[in-house]
Structure 1
Amino acid sequence: MKMMTTLHFLWIFLIPLFQILSVIDILLVSSQCLDDQKSLLLQLKGSLQYDSSLSNKLAKWNHKTSECCIWDGVTCDPSGHVIALELDEETISSGIENSSALFSLQYLEKLNLAYNRFSVGIPVGISNLTNLKYLNLSNAGFLGQIPMVLPRLTKLVTLDLSTLFPDAIKPLKLENPNLRHFIENSTELKELYLDGVDLSAQRTDWCQSLSSSLPNLTVLSLCTCQISGPIDESLSQLLFLSIIHLDQNNLSTTVPEYFSNFSNITTLTLGYCNLKGTFPERIFQVPVLEILDLSDNKVLSGSVPSFPRYGSMRRISLRYTNFSGSLPESISNLHNLSRLELSNCNFNGSIPSTMAKLTNLIYLDFSFNNFTGFIPYFQRSKKLTYLDLSRNGLTGQLSRAHFEGLSELVYMNLGDNSLNGILPADIFELPSLQQLFLYSNQFVGQVDEFRNASSSLLDTIDLNNNNLNGSIPKSMLEVGKLKVLSLSSNFFSGTVPLYLIGKLSNLSRLELSYNNLTVDASSSNSTSFAFPQLNILKLASCRLHKFPDLKNQSRMIHLDLSNNQIQGAIPNWIWGIGGGALAHLNLSFNHLESVEQPYNASSNLVVFDLHSNHIKGDLPIPPPSAIYVDYSSNNLSNSMPPDIGNSLALASFFSVANNDITGIIPESICNISYLKVLDLSNNKLSGTIPRCLLNNRTALGVLNLGNNRLHGVIPDSFPIGCSLKTLDLSRNTFEGKLPKSLFNCTFLEVLNVGHNRLVDQFPCMLRNSNSLRVLVLRSNQFNGNLTCEITTNSWQDLQIIDIASNSFTGVLNAECFSNWRGMMVAHDYVETGRSYIQYKFLQLSNFYYQDTVTLTIKGMELELVKILRVFTSIDFSSNGFHGVIPDTVGDLISLYLLNLSHNALEGPIPKSIGKLQMLESLDLSTNQLSGEIPSELASLTFLAALNLSFNNLFGKIPQGIQLQTFSGDSFEGNRGLCGFPLNNSCESKRSEFMPPQTSLPDSDFEWKFIFAAVGYIVGAANTISLLWFYEPVKRWFDKHTEKCLLWFSRK
């Protein structure tokens, strides 16, 4: 007790004593301020230009204060000489270039001019300061070549010339002298920061330059220096390196194994260096390594090894690399780990449950990977503020235990996984949570009310695309700080009066689309209603019958009211929304009939979608800012304005398909420089194709002029570099030949010129179009044979070819079939998902053009609105082919439809057709085929339509479960055939052979699909078109399109 009293007394006595001594020391130092040093400092201040209102140091210097050594930014030695000058962040803009005062401070050891506003070169006078050990000129605005005299500073220990934002025109650079000459005398240098300095003149020998001159180097920072690889072995000689920053250089090399031998290395950052190969695992295991950043090296592969106990790692960033594999359980050994970024990699497996032991974890991002299994519990990670596990394959349910104790969590994103079950209300009650993303999962049930909604910090709730039902919780509409509420694509029900939204005064984004909700907009017309100022409003498929009153929305840029029952005219006040800043307007799939006058579309409108309404009259002139304009499927008539193209100068997508537009195609459309999709199909357009429409049009990806009244020849002006992926000129009256310049369109996927008057031979010039998937030449006057000089890649992706009803002759080439690899792959319906032929444009958006094709099955046309990549079809019917059917047709194992009818083919039916296990329709009728029907056809269990009629076949019809379902019509006209389903017995036909027969006209044969296949297909098409208008079912249908189409076609 006595000792404690004594210590307490001493403590009380010593503190004042130390304070007195400190004051005396300061006075002693200040009294030693030399007049010449003070004079030099005041001269320096007088020569510099700076903003005195923002200065914290220079502005306080004045001659009235004799003790210059205690001025802010000044440090003196005991003799009164200035040895340190720190004038960083003083807004100095000039005056240093010829400052004799600064360069006369001969005792200066430290000079810091960082973060100023110079726009000149580094002054050569700095080389006079030969005692400098620390020089920091970083981010000070210095430009151009680093002076040749700077290497005179041989005592430098730390040199920082880095810049975060190099001048694009005149960056700081080391060219003459180069890096080698610049540092050759700096043997004392331990820390070198040259970030942003142009070292491109050094080429690849920067490692040798460093290792030969700087043996004591501990810190090397050369980010954004334009150096290149490889990382030379000589760098391994720098044994004391502890920090290496080489980010944002195009090293284009592998990471050397010897980095793991740097025993002192604590920081290694190599982000955005175009690294290749496999990253050495041993580097992860360096005991003292704290920071490892390999981000944005997209082809760098590797895996995460086991970690030693008590590892020092605090931060790991592998985002946007090609790392893969699973994470080790030993990740829990990284007790100091606070930040772990693994987004956009290829990791798989489950997330280790041992991560629950990472008590210092603050930031965790595993998004865009292939992780599976359950989400681990994070109760012990009390410091966690950021959690992103989105875009994986995580499953299971969420429980309160997952997030218990996470009082610091601010951001949570679990979107785009396969999480299921009921959402626990506790997740909305996390005290610090501001942003919650649970979109695109499989959550079900009703969302319960949660507590403390009015005091919640939540500003974002995104539950889009789940299976949630019931009413929207009232508490969700009481979160006062809420800015984003996204509940679209669920099964929420009930009525939502818009006046309830008025309580959310901070709301900027509201999405309620595609639920079972009825949004009551009547309250929005009340004078007492105060609707929040929104940026984005999405109320698609919300049973709206009229426009909400949005006249006073001054910030709105995105409005989606599609798939509703809004009738009448589009009000003219809508163009004033957002003060004319409205950029996205979607009113498609309503019952709108006109546009209220005066019509003055918003000058900033980028997306203008009015398709699938009943709008009559003239085509509305789009605003000049529009990029996406869709007027398709309306009742627009009359001709297009002659200057329409001038109003679409920036457009990428323009469609007026499925209207009643007449007249010619205006030549002003040629003025749309950025056009990628032009669809004028299914109208009454006449005249010819303007030649300028194709001239120098290298950006155009889709041109659809099908089903009009166009005539003349197709212009032979497809340019070199043609980017066309879809060309549809079908159902017009074009004459002449296919233009030879189509040869330039090497990316072509869909070519449809069916139902015209073209006279030409088979388009062999397209053999270089390796992407071609659909070729339709039907109902023209093409002639000659199919023989082309093909390469191994010619038409390897072809999946639909329809050359029926032409005048082709010759034999069917076996090599032709053997090249069509797109028909040789057995597709898995589940794995292929929504794999349609489509053209995606505006890459940062969800816009795409959906290709369609019309198939003719025995005179009945079926339009495939979505061309599945698994759908394959060959139709060579109604031509003059002769010879045998080649056996190689059996290699097309994914073929769905084969029609070789109405030709002069002879010989037997190839047994190899029995290998076509996916075949659903086979028509070989009206040929001169002979022999018996191969028994292998009995194995075609998916076959829904079969026609072998009017040939010279004989013998017993094979028995099989599927073959027995066909009627006698499938086999009639073959007098040598017998057995079921024909009425004649094989006993009486045993020795008979079918004599040559006369082909019957097509109309004499009654085509029948077993199980009424055509009825099902046509019915399916109608059903699809009806479902398309009902969005919740449409969304379900989109997910199962392939299965539905295949199921319908098999019935």
Structure 2
Amino acid sequence: MKIQLLTSLLLVPLFHILFGLDIVLVLGQCLDDQKFFLLQFKNSVKFNSTLSSKLVSWDQSTDCCTWEGVTCNLSSNRGHVIGLDINSESIYGCLVKSTSNSLSGLRHLESLNLAFNNFDTSKFPSGIFSLTALTYLNLSIAGFRGNFPSSIANLTQLVHLDFWANNFSGIISSTHFQNLVNLEYLDLGLNLLSGTIPSSLFGLPSLRKLFLSYNNFQGSVPKFTNTNLSPLETLYASWNNLSGPVPISLFDLKNFSRLTLSHNKLSGKFHLQILHRLSNLTYFNLSFNNLSVDLGHDNSSKFLPPSLKELKLASCRLQHFPELRYLPSLITLDLAENQISGAIPNWIWNVGNGGLRYLNLSVNQLHKLQEPYVIHNLSSIDLRCNHLRGEIPIPIENIYFLDYSNNFFSSIPTNFNLTSAIFFSVSSNRLSGTIPVSMCSGTNLQLLDLSNNYLIGNIPSCLFELSKSLGVLKLGNNSLTGNISRIFSNDCGLETLDLHGNLLKGSVPESLANCSKLEVLNLGDNRINDRFPCFLKDSLHLHVLVLHSNLFHGEIRCQEKNGSWINLQIYDIGSNHFTGNLSQNFLIWKAMKDGRNDVNILGFEALRFGGSRKTYQDAVTISIKGKRLDLVKILNIFTSIDISNNHFQGNIPHTIGELKSLVSLNLSHNTLSGSIPNSFGTLKLLETLDLSENKLTGKIPMELGDISFLEVLDLSNNQLTGKIPTGRQLQTFPEASFEGNKELCGPPLHIKCSRTAVTTAGYGDGDLGNSINWEFVGPEVGFVVGLGTVILPLIFYKRWRSYYYEHVDHILFKVIRRKHQKKSIHGRIRSRYSRIERARS
């Protein structure tokens, strides 16, 4: 071994002489103190060892310069750690002081990357600020929060600083960055920073890229000074609260290539022709402000920089199309939500020398497409919410996003080709005729929406065969007939199936249980004649089940168990012919029982089209507050049960009171009997309760008056009795909420309760309502018993009677002073005693 090592040492200078190679021997190059601090850092953080690829491999027995994520300075045989990259190591917490000490010990660090972890701390590891040799610092998506660290000013050698997507808050000032003269890249986006943008940021002599989007910055955009010397190329400041005009000085930046100030409160008039000053401009976005964009008198594209690739002017009060036909490089054009009317010019399809890929003209007042036209090369077209008429424009084969919804299109060409399409919506038009079989060419379709039209005929069975790739299929509110195809493959990927509002018959295919990702099933308002689809009870992702207004029948016996209907939040089986007793298994409906900690909107998985995220949001029509309402967004915290207009009978299960997250409950128009469970008082989030048109008996539980969110209550047309409990809520409802109960009395009804009626404040389930309120009876019984202890001795003892006649009458006359009052007192005693006897009997 010694001979081999000696030979190696002799060969090194030989190779250096012969080949001019600089060879460094890595024989234990890691310094002991560097290894100590690295291992201290590892021990100071919590991480998932099964997901870690770097930290988990660090071993005391090996050279730390060989550890993954560690870079050492070996060129001078010093062995100092100069680079530490532990991004995406599944860190989920840390001991801040220990982490800080370990990092400060690596004082030769030049590059530190802690991104894509979750340190979950509001105390920033201050040891980082002692690393004065740092040129690269990346803490994006690292789980830091609290005030923005002012000591960042110590890192004067920084070239790249990335704090994107943390929860830093507070105000940033000029002192934070004024010493960072070498800084070229700064990303503070997606934090909670507020105040004004310090003007010193725009004065940093080396800064090229600046990202400030998704914060709470206010005030105006600072003006630039020394624009001829500024190397700034990119400014992203969208999604803030910036106000005032767009500063003209921005357009004196000679190197400027990308600018977005969208989604702010900028105001005033902006002259588009000023863009000609920016000869390198490739991306420009002023969408969604309070700006009025002026196209100029001649509206000529010669004033726009030829390098422009993306132009976004949504919601900029445009009334005409800007002249863009001669822009040779344009790829993306967004003119949505303006006031453009008339025809879509045919030259628009050739913009960018035919290179236009993404076109958004939605929410305008366009009424036709100028002919002749050829749609080629486009990948994404959004024409929704206009007044376009006639036949749907035929796209070329390679288009993948098409939204023609909310127009007046009347027909679909029979040769419509969707070979490459991922998203196709033509909902809310005036389409008639049958669904062309050519729709089935969309083997890559993830969303197909033909709802709210006048389509007739059977649904092509081949559409259901697309369920492997199809995530959303919406054909609701048409006049489609026939049966639902039984072809749902074992690998069905459907998340939303909405066929409501048609004339469909037959049964619900059991193969639908193969769609394990199904979240929304809406078959309401059809003519389906079947028993309840119990085969869906184990669908783990099912949130919405609507079978409203069909011909479903029979008893519902699903043999439910823990895990059945685990995510069900909207259950609407109203207006059918179901019979039998209500299920007692509400305790297993976890989403309604336990609620949710996070708030989300049900929708199809977000897709990315043309550089922007487009998420399809589910919608459903339900009965709530006495009306059929469209929920255009379904929050996962909204819960509703509707079993109205059926033939259910028997008692209302008290277990419904366990559904603590329930918002709407409609059990009306059945033949339910028994009393209203007082467990309903635990439904503190309930907003609407309809128990009308049943055969409910007994008293109204006073607990109903404690449901503070209750807005709609209907107990009418039952057999309820007694006084309506007084409380904070019940007297605020109209008389119609209680009418049709002959023996019900008290406000808000105009029927007064009889004085002889015994009021029951509340009783448990199954109580017949014959108990006595001892709050009133108890004192009277006590009075009679006490009186008896006086009267009985008077009857049997002559001596006591003599004493009574001699003294008691004298005392009574002194106190009461009037003889007839004494008679009144004894009369009242006799009356109350008689009432008690009647109540007992």
Q: Please confirm whether the aligned pair reaches a TM-score higher than 0.5, indicating the same fold.
A: yes
Report the alpha carbon displacement of residue 292 of structure 1 after superposing the two structures with TM: 5.6
2:335 aligned residue (543, 551, 561): 561
2:573 is the counterpart of 1:803 = yes
- Counterpart in 1 of 2:684? 917
Q: Secondary structure at the match of 2:504?
A: strand
Indicate the percent of aligned positions where both proteins have the same amino acid. Answer: 43
Contact 2:37-2:105 within 8 A present in 1 as well = no
Q: Secondary structure at the match of 1:379?
A: helix
In structure 2, C-alpha distance between the alignment counterparts of 1:264 and 1:513, rounded to whole Å: 49
Residue range with higher mean Cα deviation, 856-865 or 941-950: 856-865
- Counterpart in 1 of 2:553? 783
In structure 1, C-alpha distance between the alignment counterparts of 2:579 and 2:41, rounded to whole Å: 76
Contact 2:174-2:198 within 8 A present in 1 as well = yes
Q: RMSD value over aligned CA atoms?
A: 3.2
Report the alpha carbon displacement of residue 290 of structure 1 after superposing the two structures with TM: 6.1
The aligned amino acid for 2:572 is D
Q: 1:83 to 1:801 in 2, by over 3 A?
A: closer
Report the alpha carbon displacement of residue 346 of structure 1 after superposing the two structures with TM: 0.7
2:118 aligned residue (346, 367, 376): 346
- Counterpart in 2 of 1:303? none
- Counterpart in 1 of 2:85? 317
**Mapping of residues 582-601 of structure 1, within 5 Å:** 582-601=356-375
Contact 2:270-2:291 within 8 A present in 1 as well = yes
**Mapping of residues 838-857 of structure 1, within 5 Å:** 838-842=603-607, 846-857=613-624
Q: Secondary structure at the match of 2:736?
A: helix
**Mapping of residues 292-303 of structure 1, within 5 Å:** 293-294=68-69
Q: 1:798 to 1:546 in 2, by over 3 A?
A: same
In structure 2, C-alpha distance between the alignment counterparts of 1:855 and 1:264, rounded to whole Å: 59
Q: 1:800 to 1:486 in 2, by over 3 A?
A: same
The aligned amino acid for 1:822 is A
Give deviations 1:990-1013, integer Å, cap 9, x for gaps. 2799xxxxxxxxxxxxxxxxxxxx
- Counterpart in 2 of 1:755? 525
**Mapping of residues 357-436 of structure 1, within 5 Å:** 357-376=130-149, 377-436=151-210
2:437 aligned residue (653, 662, 667): 667
**Mapping of residues 698-709 of structure 1, within 5 Å:** 698-709=468-479
The aligned amino acid for 2:314 is A
In structure 2, C-alpha distance between the alignment counterparts of 1:548 and 1:82, rounded to whole Å: 68
Report the alpha carbon displacement of residue 581 of structure 1 after superposing the two structures with TM: 1.6
1:337 aligned residue (109, 113, 121): 109
Report the alpha carbon displacement of residue 953 of structure 1 after superposing the two structures with TM: 1.0
Q: 1:979 to 1:480 in 2, by over 3 A?
A: same
Q: Secondary structure at the match of 2:439?
A: helix
- Counterpart in 1 of 2:408? 635
The aligned amino acid for 1:372 is R
Give deviations 1:626-662, integer Å, cap 9, x for gaps. 111000000111x211111x2x211011000000011
Q: Secondary structure at the match of 1:862?
A: strand
The aligned amino acid for 1:477 is F
In structure 2, C-alpha distance between the alignment counterparts of 1:285 and 1:432, rounded to whole Å: 41
Q: 1:278 to 1:363 in 2, by over 3 A?
A: closer
**Mapping of residues 858-937 of structure 1, within 5 Å:** 860-937=627-704
The aligned amino acid for 1:842 is L
TM-score by length of 2: 0.82
Residue range with higher mean Cα deviation, 524-533 or 910-919: 524-533
Q: 1:287 to 1:379 in 2, by over 3 A?
A: farther
- Counterpart in 1 of 2:767? none
- Counterpart in 2 of 1:1037? none
Q: 1:989 to 1:759 in 2, by over 3 A?
A: farther
The aligned amino acid for 1:476 is L
In structure 1, C-alpha distance between the alignment counterparts of 2:274 and 2:425, rounded to whole Å: 38
In structure 2, C-alpha distance between the alignment counterparts of 1:631 and 1:825, rounded to whole Å: 40
In structure 1, C-alpha distance between the alignment counterparts of 2:36 and 2:257, rounded to whole Å: 51
Larger RCO (CA under 8 A, 6+ residues apart): 2
- Counterpart in 2 of 1:938? 705
1:650 aligned residue (409, 420, 428): 420
- Counterpart in 2 of 1:1024? none
Contact 2:293-2:318 within 8 A present in 1 as well = yes
Give deviations 1:719-758, integer Å, cap 9, x for gaps. 1110111111111100111112112111111111111111
Q: Secondary structure at the match of 2:251?
A: helix
Contact 2:532-2:553 within 8 A present in 1 as well = yes
The aligned amino acid for 1:787 is R
In structure 2, C-alpha distance between the alignment counterparts of 1:676 and 1:275, rounded to whole Å: 33
In structure 2, C-alpha distance between the alignment counterparts of 1:577 and 1:652, rounded to whole Å: 24
The aligned amino acid for 1:632 is S
Contact 1:242-1:265 within 8 A present in 2 as well = no
Report the alpha carbon displacement of residue 989 of structure 1 after superposing the two structures with TM: 7.1
In structure 2, C-alpha distance between the alignment counterparts of 1:718 and 1:420, rounded to whole Å: 52
- Counterpart in 2 of 1:729? 499
2:537 is the counterpart of 1:772 = no
Residue range with higher mean Cα deviation, 937-946 or 530-539: 530-539
Report the alpha carbon displacement of residue 362 of structure 1 after superposing the two structures with TM: 0.7
In structure 1, C-alpha distance between the alignment counterparts of 2:529 and 2:454, rounded to whole Å: 24
1:712 aligned residue (472, 482, 490): 482
- Counterpart in 2 of 1:976? 743
- Counterpart in 2 of 1:739? 509
- Counterpart in 2 of 1:550? 324
The aligned amino acid for 2:439 is I
Q: Secondary structure at the match of 1:768?
A: coil
Report the alpha carbon displacement of residue 332 of structure 1 after superposing the two structures with TM: 3.1
Give deviations 1:82-125, integer Å, cap 9, x for gaps. 998759xxxxxxxxxxxxxxxxxxxxxx9x9xxxxxxxxxxxxx
In structure 2, C-alpha distance between the alignment counterparts of 1:466 and 1:704, rounded to whole Å: 36
Residue range with higher mean Cα deviation, 972-981 or 896-905: 972-981
Q: 1:613 to 1:399 in 2, by over 3 A?
A: same
Contact 2:300-2:324 within 8 A present in 1 as well = no
The aligned amino acid for 2:392 is L
- Counterpart in 2 of 1:824? 593
Give deviations 1:829-869, integer Å, cap 9, x for gaps. xx52xx11100243686122111111124763211110111
Q: Secondary structure at the match of 1:741?
A: helix
Contact 1:522-1:548 within 8 A present in 2 as well = no
Contact 1:290-1:315 within 8 A present in 2 as well = no
Q: Secondary structure at the match of 2:451?
A: coil
Q: Secondary structure at the match of 1:514?
A: coil
Report the alpha carbon displacement of residue 351 of structure 1 after superposing the two structures with TM: 2.0
Contact 1:351-1:374 within 8 A present in 2 as well = no
**Mapping of residues 675-714 of structure 1, within 5 Å:** 675-695=445-465, 697-714=467-484
Q: Secondary structure at the match of 1:818?
A: helix
- Counterpart in 1 of 2:824? none
TM-score by length of 1: 0.66
In structure 2, C-alpha distance between the alignment counterparts of 1:263 and 1:519, rounded to whole Å: 56
Report the alpha carbon displacement of residue 354 of structure 1 after superposing the two structures with TM: 4.6
In structure 2, C-alpha distance between the alignment counterparts of 1:729 and 1:263, rounded to whole Å: 60
The aligned amino acid for 1:738 is V
- Counterpart in 2 of 1:961? 728
Q: Secondary structure at the match of 1:475?
A: helix
Report the alpha carbon displacement of residue 317 of structure 1 after superposing the two structures with TM: 1.4
Aligned residues: 730
Give deviations 1:545-572, integer Å, cap 9, x for gaps. 0111111111111111000001111111
Q: 1:692 to 1:345 in 2, by over 3 A?
A: same
2:752 aligned residue (952, 974, 985): 985
In structure 2, C-alpha distance between the alignment counterparts of 1:266 and 1:392, rounded to whole Å: 21
Give deviations 1:103-152, integer Å, cap 9, x for gaps. xxxxxxx9x9xxxxxxxxxxxxxxxxxxxxx9xxxxxxxxxxxxxxxxxx
Contact 2:578-2:647 within 8 A present in 1 as well = yes
Q: Secondary structure at the match of 1:950?
A: coil
